[in-house]
Structure 1
Amino acid sequence: MMERYPDIEVYVASISLEALNAWLASALAAPPLSPAGKGKWKTHGQHQGKEVPILLVEKAADRFASLWFDSSHTPWMTDQECAQHAAEALQTEVRCSLGGWHPGDDPDRFWQVLPGGKEGAIEWPDSGR
């Protein structure tokens, strides 16, 4: 059985706040994102009766925003599962780490998910990690 990640982080290609809010409302019954500082937005969703804090950081890497779910209580077991769901729902490219990061891992290797189910490992040297 796959181990549930303690939190989920994905990188979403340029997308409107309206589209992102609609997806978060659908997936986690989250109210719209609200400003939380320069280029940051936050809200709280719910999944199976548990609160899920959500943080969006615009322009986190290249043309991608970081979307972080600070909880293990999400509908997704892993970052990759979330990326697959988000790419289809938002019809945009989504990237995530290849798995849990450990010392010695290549920080520039990411998983890319495109709408329509195309996905695979990529090098992302401008990630800033």
Structure 2
Amino acid sequence: MSDERHPDIEVYIKNRPLEVILDWLGERCERVQTINSVGGTHALEIVIDSNTVPVMIHEKAVGKAWISVWFRSEDTPWVRDLDCAHEIAKALDTQVRCIASGWSEGDDPDEWWRVENGDAEKIQWQTS
């Protein structure tokens, strides 16, 4: 995996309610503003490390256990999805998954990182 900055950051958080994730964002960010919420999809705008970043949250993104959090900008504190996954897994004491690479041509779309208890392991995860 490359250490190049990913153009956006997306992670999947296991078995944590939306309120817990929003509380973490509130602690981590200078500002969190809800732009729109429809059903289980939430559009937010956050200010993190002085950068304004649009965020999409999808509840039940994969089955009932996983919530997707997509930071739709490269202007985040994390260089790679894996960096963000480590921070969230520790902060929320849960498993977090993210794609194993930055979605380059030829990458295996089923290869993911599973981050839990400070460890990261590559797994095959068929999400569909």
Please give the range of the TM-score, normalised by the shorter of the 2 chains. 0.7 to 0.9
Taking the aligned partners of 1:68 and 1:25, their CA distance within structure 2 comes to: 16
More deviation, 63-72/100-109? 100-109
State the distance in 1 between where 2:15 and 2:31 align: 20
Give the TM-score normalised by the residue count of structure 2: 0.88
> Which of residues 85, 88, 95 is equivalent to 2:87?
85
What amino acid does structure 2 have at the position aligned with 1:14? N
Alpha-carbon distance in structure 2 between the residues aligned to 1:51 and 1:87: 23
Moved over 6 A (4+): none
Letter of the 1:12 counterpart: I
Q: Is the 8 A contact 1:21 1:32 kept in 2?
A: no
Q: Is the 8 A contact 2:30 2:49 kept in 1?
A: no
Structure 1: gaps (5+ residues): none
Partner of 1:65: 67
Task: Give the structure 2 partner of residue 5 of structure 1.
Answer: 6
Q: Deviations over 1:39-62 (max 9, x none)?
A: 101221112322111110011113
User: Pick from 96, 103, 106: which aligns with 1:104?
Assistant: 106
TM-superposition CA deviations, 1:72-127 (whole Å, max 9, x none): 1111111000000000001111000001112332111100001x2122001112x1
Q: Which moved more, 1:2-11 or 1:76-85?
A: 2-11
Question: 1:21 maps to which residue?
Answer: 22
Q: Is it true that 1:119 corresponds to 2:117 in the alignment? A: no
RMSD: 1.8
Residues 60 and 7 of structure 1: CA distance in aligned 2, closer, same or farther (over 3 Å): same
TM-score by length of 1: 0.87
Structure 2's unaligned 5+ residue stretches are none
Percent pairwise identity: 37
In the alignment, is the contact (CA less than 8 A) between 1:21 and 1:33 conserved in 2? no
Mean Cα displacement is larger for which, 78-87 or 22-31?
22-31
